[in-house]
Amino acid sequence: MAISKMEKVTIISPKCEEEKILRIMQDLQNIEIVDSVNELNNQYQTRQFDVVNLEQNRQKEDELNQLQNRIQKVLSYLSVHISKAPELLNEVQTFSEFEEEIDFESIQGLLNQVNDWQEKEKVITDEMAEVRVEIENLRQWQYLTVNPNETKDSKYLRSVLVDFSLTVKEKLLEKVEEFSTLFEVVYESQSRQYAFIVFLEKDEEQLKELVSTYGLNVLDYSHDQAPKKIFESLENRLVTLNKEKEAIIKQVSTQHELINPLKMAEESVLAEIDRNHVKEKLADYKDLTIIRGWIESDRAESFEENIKVKLASNIPVLVTFDETKQTEDVPTALKNNKLVKPFESLTEMYSLPKYGELDPTPLLTPFYMVFFGMMVADLGYGLLMLVGTFVLSKKKTLRRSARNFINLFKILSVPVMMWGLIYGSFFGLSLPFHVLSATEDMNSILILSVCFGMIQLLVGLLINGIQLVKKKDYLKSVSESFAWQGILIGAVLLVLGNIVLQNEGLKNAGLILFVISGVLIILIPMITSKSKGKGLVQGMYSFYGITGYIGDLVSYTRLMALGISGGSIAGAFNMLVGFMPPVARFTVGVALIIVLHALNIFLSLLSAYVHGARLQYVEYFGKFFQGGGRKFSPFKPKEKHIDFKVDK
């Protein structure tokens, strides 16, 4: 339960084996590749190492990106029409086993087939849009049974379709009557009138004058049939196009079996893009390729064996491992057992420890479990958590990150049940037995919360003191750790001796310990500082930090507050449904109580998760943990759609 020991690995191989080695590394997922060119040139103070086939690699990467974009667009199109796409099984195959199943010839066929559907749908959709525009343009003229263009070949007659504002209607009609042969109102809205006008060819100039004077809009009618017939044909065409589109959508919606092969193909292409991209970090020296990176020490031997076995060639490949140096930027990989591993996410949210620093995950796990359980504290909620997480964890399509999160709550369900038994709470109902009552023993629960806080602070200070002793910084370990432990323990003894037990021995022991510890906190900075006055001021300021410890202890009272509030809310919900008449209680009441308890569970778990983490980050980690480490990022597939099994 610590940080994995790292080693620098160097692989020297002929260029012809470069792709195979990268595939093996991607499959094993155990090496973080570094910029080998810069590292080697800096190490040997020369520029004799170059990037492997840089231009060729970038051209290949562009081609792969185009293919990946094509697959992505097809998947997006299918996801629109397929309501529930099938999911891939996770962690059942290694990457090498997965790639053996990919057939890109059949994938190209699938892409062409889907693109054909997509293109047909697009053509139909575009035509439907055009038809709708035409329909809207003719909507006011749909009742006109005469084709306005029939007068084009006439020597004496002309016709036009116009619309105008109703405010000019009266004056316009007076003018039109002077020369028009026919004025027919086709449609009238609240603000405009639409009319068909037939007039003599000799009066065309007068009409143009009316158009200008009264703001008439003249419709450019280009069809060879009457508006009514055109409108009906357009509506029929729209119905036909809609049926054709629905037929394509219906056909596409049944193609569930296309989703997974395309996801697998995209995963394979993304992996190849990564292999191509990482080649920019490889060093080229004559006919050799040099790869450098970080590997966990306990996986070094198996990696070397895998390289020899999986290459299966007589061409020699040199693999060497070197110890880390203090000047190197070594990544951090956490290594914990199954119980502690799910809690690594909490550490990562705060900050990873630097390489060589203490991993705080095993040290926060027991405290987080106790605190989380105390803040939810219901046997029924805990059982529900256990059953729910157990069922979900059996789902093989679950992604690795989600599985780790579910495993975290599966573990946390145990302290929730234990504290539920202690408080005697089951879905807000009081059990016939309990150790502490959330309603009658509030003061005891408050004291217990502060005691847990005191224990965690003492542990944090102890860890910090041990780390400083290991660095041989003995005086600092006293002033920043052990003396503060003395302050806290002395304060506890003073309270016990003076208030609780009224024991003079305890009281005096606590007072002596408190005074000695306080003096050490003030004097040690004077001893270590060149300026005694400055050291004294620094020591006194450090002792003023006691107010911060008081604030820390008060912060732990949230353990009591959240635990009691959650139980009280659950009890109030039960009481609310209990007041209902029997008929309503066993009908609407059942649904209501499920919804209310679901809400309370969600809020209780969210509060416990957030406040539990806050206590670790602020009150606990602040005493001993610095962080600032860089996460170990081994070369691996992208895992966009599927998590691969890793052979250790």
Q: What is the pLDDT of residues 194-208, one digit of tens each?
A: 999 888 888 888 888
CATH of domain 146-225: 3.30.70.100
The pLDDT, as a whole number, for residue 423 is 93
pLDDT band for position 60 (50/70/90)?
confident
What is the average pLDDT score of the chain?
89
pLDDT band for position 351 (50/70/90)?
very high
Residue 500 confidence (pLDDT) above 90: no
The pLDDT, as a whole number, for residue 32 is 94
Interval 282-287 mean pLDDT: 83
User: Among 76-80, 443-447, 459-463, 580-584, where is mean pLDDT lowest?
Assistant: 580-584
Q: Could you please report the per-residue DSSP string of 368-408?
A: HHHHHHHHH--HHHHHHHHHHHHHHHT-TT--HHHHHHHHH
DSSP letter for 631, please. Answer: B
| C-alpha–C-alpha distance, residues 143 and 73, integer Å | 45
- Residues spanned by CATH 3.30.70.120 within the chain? 1-39+287-335
User: Among 38-52, 258-272, 553-567, where is mean pLDDT lowest?
Assistant: 38-52
Residue 548 confidence (pLDDT) above 90: no
Interval 77-99 mean pLDDT: 85
Percent of the chain at pLDDT exceeding 70 = 98
Locate 617 and state its tokens: 């980050």
Going by C-alpha positions, the residue among 289, 325, 300, 328 that lies closest to residue 9 is: 300
More confident residue, 16 or 341: 341
Predicted confidence (pLDDT) per residue in 128-143, tens digit: 999 999 999 888 889 8
The pLDDT, as a whole number, for residue 348 is 93
Interval 287-292 mean pLDDT: 88
Residue 288 confidence (pLDDT) above 90: no
The pLDDT, as a whole number, for residue 91 is 79
DSSP helix/strand/coil, 183: strand
The pLDDT, as a whole number, for residue 47 is 60
pLDDT band for position 420 (50/70/90)?
very high
Is the four-CA dihedral 322, 326, 332, 338 of positive or negative sign?
positive
Locate 479 and state its tokens: 């002033």
The pLDDT, as a whole number, for residue 57 is 77
pLDDT band for position 530 (50/70/90)?
confident
pLDDT band for position 51 (50/70/90)?
low
DSSP letter for 327, please. Answer: T
The pLDDT, as a whole number, for residue 52 is 61
pLDDT band for position 1 (50/70/90)?
low
- Residues spanned by CATH 3.30.70.100 within the chain? 146-225
The pLDDT, as a whole number, for residue 273 is 93
pLDDT band for position 648 (50/70/90)?
low
The pLDDT, as a whole number, for residue 24 is 92
| C-alpha–C-alpha distance, residues 245 and 251, integer Å | 10
In which order are the strands placed within the sheet that holds 157-165? 180-188, 192-200, 157-165, 217-218
Going by C-alpha positions, the residue among 406, 345, 402, 400 that lies closest to residue 29 is: 400
More confident residue, 647 or 561: 561
Whether domain 1-39+287-335 has CATH 3.40.50.11270: no
